[in-house]
Structure 1
Amino acid sequence: MPRPEHHPHDSASRRRAGPGSLGTLLTELRLARGWSQLRVAEQLCAASGVPTVSRHEVSRWERQQRVPGKFWLNWLAAVLEVPVEELAVAAAASRPTTAGGGEGRDGGNPGVVRARQELLTSAHAWLTDPDGPVGPTITIPVEPIRATSVEPTGVVSVEPIRAVSGGPAWMDSGRSGRAGEQAPELPLDAAGVAGVRRLDDLVGGEDLLSSPAGRLTLTTARCATGRPGRQALPLVAEAAQLVGWLHTDAGKVGAALRAYRLALAAAAGAGDRSLGAHILGSASHLLSAFGDARGGLLLARTGYLGARRTAPAGLRALLLHRIAFGAARCGRHRPAYAALRAAERAAGRREPPREPAWLYWLDEGEFAAMTGRCLASLRRPLRAEPLLRAALTRPGQPRTAAVYGAWLARAYLDLGEWERAAEVADGALLDTVRSGSARAAAELAGVGRRLAAYRTEPAGRRHAALAAAARRYLPAAPPAALAG
């Protein structure tokens, strides 16, 4: 399969996406070529005639422990086939700011910026060193907890958890259990995690996180068995991935990024490359949806490159869709279309019975809706409209209807059909209230700003009035942009 993500002539669209960190940009350019850090160092030495750059120096640049000077920026531009001005802008953005210099485009939240960078660093480590550590130390439960199942109906069966004097049920200190100690059971078993995952189809992230089922999922995500009981790590990774997804839907970006990093560490410890790639794909969707398209594209590419040889066809198709969406949000049309074509080919080779249970939701209708969203982002509204319209006919999933309804309204606005756009946005607004999804609210906020131009028309006035009445019931949307 050709690499859909390698298009060296898309530097103009990278500039349109805004300046980001040099480390992220260098990693992105290197991965797009399938190069190792050693290969970059060798190319730099050969091109410059100065044999002093090692793999470790390239690693320091990518991790932003150092920022290369003008000499090496020029040679990096030549080797990576990118305008030196682009690298210079990214380098300037990566150097420490002076006092009072501002926080960047993340809404003034340094915790989110740090969590984003830590996840990108962990993703890079996961790709380049499959057997090495990629994230924070996994904690260990210190008290017996009965395995619990959660039914898709929302009924949670929990046996009382015994209190332990001197500490909570799990510890954040990173201490491992004593050698030979029998690891306790996790709060949720595999059926319980699967039940919460299906509840997520019906309930918004904020509500589910505060429910008994959500609290059990949180506790499971923050537990691991260390050296004994390594077989529990895949379940911990699944729970942490689900927690990241719920935090994403609740608009808690920093918490979602930290959960995804924990999930990646657990999946790496279990040796499950497919699950690790899926976790990076989920985090990619978070960044792409909330304003960091470049970071989302980088994570999607990393997940795809790290698992494309072993992942089932459905997961490859999903990761290629994540690449397409990130590329579309960056304005990179050619790699977006190439990824969509590759995703369609991979989807045609699916064997659902052999795929992981956590991909149950990825059916033909969802593929079509995701394709419609990418086409809408690429400003191809005629092609996007029927795919997105079909997504709204799926019953019982208000968040899905709200998110894809917002994209359908965008498509109608691009077609000049603002009356239909307002009608669809009205329905999406009500579905956002029903679902309580901050992610849906963020998608709809952009539509509302575009519809504001039609407030003098009946349909525009109606939507403005409905939005004003619904505002008190809507979750707060996170900032439109997170990072460069």
Structure 2
Amino acid sequence: MHEPTIGPLLRAYRKDAHASQGQLAAWLSDRAGRPVTRNEVSRWEGESRLPTPFWQKHLAAALDADADALRRAVDRAKTKRRLLQCENHQPEGGDVQRRAFLGAMAGLAASASWPVLPQPKPGQRLGSSDIQRLLNETARLRRLDNYFGGADTYKLYATVLKETQDLVRNASFSSETERNCKAVIAERAQLAGWAAFDAGLHAEATEHYEISFEAAKEAGHPALAGNALAFLAYQKVTFKKPSVAMAVASYETAKQHATPRVRALLLERMAWTHAVAGQPNEAERALAAAAETVHLASDRPEPDWVFWVNEDEIKIMTGRCWTQLRRPLRAVPILEDVLGRFDDTHARDKAIYLTSLAHAYLDAGEIEQSASITQQAIDLAAGVGSVRPIERITKVTSRLRPHRSLTAVSGVLDAAKALPTAR
């Protein structure tokens, strides 16, 4: 029997306590010292809104319930929301079929493995239709990252990469098809590398990115090779010293052959490296170039692996760079604007971006507003299979801790304790 999400579980606890929604609201208001209405309890039970860790704690006390059970039920509700969002989402990218995409989602949610790729018989020849099938399947795989963290997707991506390598190793093909197969391996190795990075598996991520770079070179695909270098540079920025040389090389490798969105992506990642390295002028130039480039027309189709790159993506990176450079007056308006349009179903990414906004408010001396934004990030990060939001929230809360005498800050610090410990 499936465990319930928070709405049915909360309803069951309340009925066992022989309480109405209004009575529960009154109990909570008395216990928490903060007002909560009957309508809010109704929204929790209907899951149009979910109780935050603060209210989960007081619900557990008021209803004599298991606090961990409530937290897990909220996490299941968040996963349910993301799956429903996927059902209503028609993925872009050529012949990617909605039914197949939903099949992938259902398989992942059930922890089932991706269907094993058919292995060629000795001497079987791969052709253009096989390449297209592999590209379509890669597009479906890529969209899982919109809704799930690397801890959820890494095993799937790594398995599919290995199956693809085995498929290509045992097949025969023309020289052109061989190059196209190598490009597919490069794309899938980048997926596996990104998921490993997101899950905190940094040695595995580096290995996959290096496999991608070599495969892209063998394919004669400079844009994919540049993207592999950009991933490696981003990893160095996050966990080691920033490698400006590698970030610049990623753009230089690809720029002559890349489409506008690919160039914009590599430029914004280069800008981030400059920002972390404390180079504001270089970061600003790269951001300006990315903002201009993303709108350029092209007579070539954009590759699916940049389907998400648009004006808002460049704005988010711009706000993050200005936060990194401690320019809150430039960062806050940009991040407030774009995050107001950012869908909560992309919980991991929005939680990460909100922490940049929280840092910017701290730099501006707006402590309580920073705490409020951090609470939003905590609510989104709960149950997400990624170490990155936790790591970023931890950095914000460490800066908030000297202000724990403020009620808003103490509540956020308590809520952060319920999150898993970052590696």
- The TM-score range, normalised by the shorter chain, is 0.5 to 0.7
1:219 paired to 2:167: no
Q: Trace 1:244-259 onto structure 2 (pairs within 5 A).
A: 244-259=193-208
Task: Quote the Cα distance in structure 1 between the aligned partners of 2:117 and 2:227.
Answer: 32
1:155 paired to 2:102: no
Task: Quote the Cα distance in structure 1 between the aligned partners of 2:231 and 2:276.
Answer: 16
| Aligned-residue offset at 1:353 | 6.8
1:199 paired to 2:139: no
1:348 paired to 2:299: no
> Is the contact between residue 223 and residue 254 of structure 2 (CA under 8 Å) also seen in structure 1?
yes
Q: Who is 1:467 aligned against?
A: 416
Which secondary structure does the structure 2 equivalent of 1:361 belong to?
A: coil
> Is the contact between residue 391 and residue 404 of structure 1 (CA under 8 Å) also seen in structure 2?
no
Q: Who is 2:86 aligned against?
A: none
| Aligned-residue offset at 1:298 | 2.6
Task: Quote the Cα distance in structure 2 between the aligned partners of 1:386 and 1:216.
Answer: 42
Deviating 4+ runs (over 3 angstroms): 155-162, 180-186, 213-216, 220-224, 226-229, 350-353
| Aligned-residue offset at 1:222 | 4.5
Which amino acid in the other structure matches residue 250 of structure 1? A
> Is the contact between residue 117 and residue 163 of structure 2 (CA under 8 Å) also seen in structure 1?
no
| Aligned-residue offset at 1:477 | 3.0
1:292 paired to 2:240: yes
Tell me: CA distance 1:298–1:221, structure 2 relative to 1, closer, same or farther (3 Å). Answer: farther
Which secondary structure does the structure 1 equivalent of 2:422 belong to?
A: coil
> Is the contact between residue 233 and residue 242 of structure 2 (CA under 8 Å) also seen in structure 1?
no
Q: Who is 2:84 aligned against?
A: none
In structure 2, stretches of 5+ residues that fail to align are 1-98, 108-112
Q: Trace 1:83-482 onto structure 2 (pairs within 5 A).
A: 151=101, 154-156=105-107, 182=125, 189-210=134-155, 213-214=156-157, 216-220=159-163, 222-223=165-166, 225=168, 228-229=172-173, 230=178, 231-288=180-237, 290-295=238-243, 297-351=244-298, 354-393=301-340, 394-395=342-343, 396-468=345-417, 470-471=418-419, 474=420, 476-478=421-423
Tell me: CA distance 1:383–1:161, structure 2 relative to 1, closer, same or farther (3 Å). Answer: closer
Which secondary structure does the structure 2 equivalent of 1:456 belong to?
A: coil
> Is the contact between residue 260 and residue 279 of structure 1 (CA under 8 Å) also seen in structure 2?
yes
Tell me: CA distance 1:451–1:259, structure 2 relative to 1, closer, same or farther (3 Å). Answer: same
Task: Quote the Cα distance in structure 2 between the aligned partners of 1:206 and 1:217.
Answer: 15
- Tell me the number of residue pairs that the alignment of Structure 1 and Structure 2 aligns: 309
Identical-pair percentage: 30
| Aligned-residue offset at 1:228 | 4.0
| Aligned-residue offset at 1:150 | 5.1
Tell me: CA distance 1:362–1:220, structure 2 relative to 1, closer, same or farther (3 Å). Answer: farther
| Aligned-residue offset at 1:158 | 5.7
Deviates more, 1:408-417 or 1:449-458: 449-458
| Aligned-residue offset at 1:242 | 0.5
Which amino acid in the other structure matches residue 304 of structure 1? Y
Which amino acid in the other structure matches residue 143 of structure 2? R
| Aligned-residue offset at 1:391 | 3.6
**Which structure: greater helix fraction?**
2
Which secondary structure does the structure 2 equivalent of 1:294 belong to?
A: coil
> Is the contact between residue 323 and residue 359 of structure 2 (CA under 8 Å) also seen in structure 1?
yes
| Aligned-residue offset at 1:224 | 6.3
Task: Quote the Cα distance in structure 2 between the aligned partners of 1:194 and 1:350.
Answer: 22
Provide, for residues 303-361 of structure 1, a one-character-per-residue CA deviation record: whole Å limited to 9, x for no partner: 11112112112211211111111011011122112212222222232449721111101
Provide, for residues 256-286 of structure 1, a one-character-per-residue CA deviation record: whole Å limited to 9, x for no partner: 0110000111111111111111122222222
In structure 1, stretches of 5+ residues that fail to align are 1-148, 163-168, 171-176, 479-484
Task: Quote the Cα distance in structure 1 between the aligned partners of 2:164 and 2:377.
Answer: 32
| Aligned-residue offset at 1:196 | 1.3
Q: TM-score, normalised by structure 1?
A: 0.59
Task: Quote the Cα distance in structure 2 between the aligned partners of 1:338 and 1:408.
Answer: 22
| Aligned-residue offset at 1:403 | 0.7
Q: TM-score, normalised by structure 2?
A: 0.67
Tell me: CA distance 1:466–1:267, structure 2 relative to 1, closer, same or farther (3 Å). Answer: same
